[in-house]
Amino acid sequence: MAAANLSRVRKSILPQAGDTWASIAKRELPKLDEAAGIARLQSWNLHVFMRSAGPSGGPRGGNPILPSDVIFVEPPGVRA
C-alpha cells in the first residue's frame, strides 16, 4: 500500500492501573485545567463515559475505566 493511501491514526492510550478521568487528563492534557481536560476526554470517549461505573465499594469503586479500554486523547480527525 502506498503511503499516500494510509490514514493518520488517532492518538490513544491504555489506562494504567487505578486511572481515573482526572489522572488521565493531568498526564495526557497537562496544558488544560482539570475540569476542561476531563470534559474533553469524556466527550472523545463516550464508549467509556456512558458505561455504568458499578457500585461504590465494588471492585471498580465507581470508576467506569477498565485497564483494557482504549482511551482517545485527541479529538476525532476531520476528513477532507
* Contact assessment for residue 41 and residue 23, using Cβ atoms and an 8 Å cutoff: no
17-45 per-position pLDDT tens digit: 889 999 999 999 999 999 999 999 999 99
Which pLDDT score, from 0 to 100, does residue 3 have? 66
Q: Which three cell numbers stand for residue 14?
A: 491504555
Burial label, 41 (beta-carbon count in 10 A; 0-12, 13-18, 19+): buried
Is the Cβ–Cβ distance between 64 and 51 less than 8 Å?
Answer: yes
Predicted TM-score of the model (pTM): 0.82
The percent of residues above 90 in pLDDT, for the chain, comes to 61
The whole-angstrom separation of Cα 26 and Cα 32 is 8
Q: What value does the mean pLDDT of the chain take?
A: 88
Closest by alpha carbon to 28, among 48, 44, 8, 46? 44
